[in-house]
Structure 1
Amino acid sequence: MSDLDATTPRVFLARHGETEWTKNGRFTGATELDLTPAGVDQVASTAALLVGPGKLIDPARVVRIFVSPRKRTKQTFKHLFGSSEITITHDRVTLTEDITEWDYGDYEGLLEGQIRADRAERGLDKEKRWDIWRDGCEGGETGQQVTERLDRSISTIRDIQRPHMHGEMAADVVLVAHGLILRCFVKRWLGYPLDMPLQMMLSPGAIGILSYKKHDIEEPAFFIGMSIPFEV
């Protein structure tokens, strides 16, 4: 038996396109950056292939879109759903801080190597190297704070999708957010603590997919591969 058919609600994770800080790996939380021209192209290419009537993300099946209120994510939303053939009504779109990027605090704009070097100079991390999943960010968020806001988002999404697990109504949801917070979201979707090792990658402009096994709200899952819809 298949774990999923077309009626099972899905959650699509859309990472924003490239920014100048994405290119060199600087920690980007609250800093407002535009997409680069390449970042716009990344999102536009994803949209052309995957977003639209009869495509993987079919606007007719999307009941809610949650967008981080940073400039780069709002631009990404615009390029994902800005096609003239796509109609997304205002009431389906929510800007929410609950899915904004991890607050990096004192580490904003730094590279991981710079953070580790600074902490070493101050005599920190003598037994274990700094790990954001476990240690959080000085002057920013802890893993527990991130967990609480993501769990709040997940609860909202499950309330939306719970009545429609067998296709009673289309109930797909889209998140437009950031690289690290979306990986955190996957862990919490599956019920894992943030510091549990689970190596994941999500390219700028990419789409990830979550859903449920056997139409069961109590069996959240993620796709390691999914066939793409095609027109007959």
Structure 2
Amino acid sequence: MSDLDSTTPRVFLVRHGETEWTKNGRYTGTTDLPLTPYGIEQVAGTAALLVGPHKLVDVARVSSIWVSPRKRAQQTFKCLFDSEDPNVGISIDDEKVTITEDIAEWDYGDYEGLLVGEIRQKRKDEGLDQEREWDIWRDGCEGGESARQVTERLDRVIEKVQDLQRPYMNGEKPVDAVLVAHGLVLRCFMKRWLKLPLDAELPMIFSPGAISILGYKNHDVNQPAFFMGMALPAQK
């Protein structure tokens, strides 16, 4: 028996498309930026290839969707699912959709809109980090969230997802889940899914408009895992 197959529930992580601050690397937390025109194209391209009947994300198999309240995530959701085709379309007010701050981007507080280099210089000017450089995974953000606060809210979502999927580990009912959110918080989510602390060393790259996949080994809810690679469903 394979560790993971099409009957094992999955969790799809969707990063929103490009914004103006995504392009230049500025930390974007609470600032409510829209997608750029190219960002919309990114998500539309992902949707065309991967979302729909017999595709990677088949809405017939999706039982729950969590969406960040930020405009860029809402736009991404609509680009992915807002279709007149009932086999593809899911509206934002569908009962299976939950809009929640629990998957909003890390609140960067005083570091909102800054580049990494600017944040590190700001902290050194304040007398911080004399022996080691600032690391958001460990140090959090002044005036914003700590790693502990982000962990607590993501763990709430993981508990809800796993409670929904636990009874159906062998395909008794399709219960795939989708999270539409942000680059850093979704990487945090992956660490917590794997039961790792946020400051655990796990370098990750997550492109705007991309989809990552989580699941379980051996159909066991106590063995959360991530897909290193997944064959796409055969087209019918």
TM-score range normalised by the length of the shorter chain = over 0.9
SS at match of 1:64: strand
Letter in 2 for 1:43: V
Q: Which residue of 1 aligns with 2:225?
A: 221
Letter in 2 for 1:205: G
- In the alignment, the residues of structure 2 paired with residue 95 and residue 193 of structure 1 have an alpha-carbon distance, to the nearest angstrom, of 25
Letter in 1 for 2:90: I
CA deviation string 1:79-117 (max 9, x = no partner): 000232213261011100000000000000000000001
Letter in 1 for 2:124: A
Letter in 1 for 2:192: R
Q: Which residue of 1 aligns with 2:58?
A: 58
Answer yes or no: is 1:88 the counterpart of 2:90: yes
Q: Which runs of 5+ in 1 are unaligned?
A: none
Shift in Å, 1:231: 1.7
Question: Residues 189-228 of structure 1: matches in 2 within 5 Å?
Answer: 189-228=193-232
Letter in 1 for 2:196: Y
Q: TM-score under structure 1 normalisation?
A: 0.98
Letter in 1 for 2:89: T
Q: Which residue of 2 aligns with 1:174?
A: 178
Range moving further from structure 2, 22-31 or 85-94:
85-94
CA deviation string 1:113-133 (max 9, x = no partner): 000011111221011100000
Shift in Å, 1:155: 0.2
SS at match of 1:146: helix
Q: Which residue of 2 aligns with 1:76?
A: 76
SS at match of 1:91: coil
Question: Residues 14-29 of structure 1: matches in 2 within 5 Å?
Answer: 14-29=14-29
Q: TM-score under structure 2 normalisation?
A: 0.97
Cα pair 2:66 2:179 within 8 Å, conserved: yes
Large movers: runs of 4+ above 2 Å:
none
Q: Which runs of 5+ in 2 are unaligned?
A: none
SS at match of 2:213: strand
SS at match of 2:133: coil
SS at match of 2:95: helix
- In the alignment, the residues of structure 1 paired with residue 190 and residue 231 of structure 2 have an alpha-carbon distance, to the nearest angstrom, of 20
Please give the root-mean-square deviation of Cα atoms over the aligned residues, in Å: 0.8
Q: Which residue of 2 aligns with 1:36?
A: 36
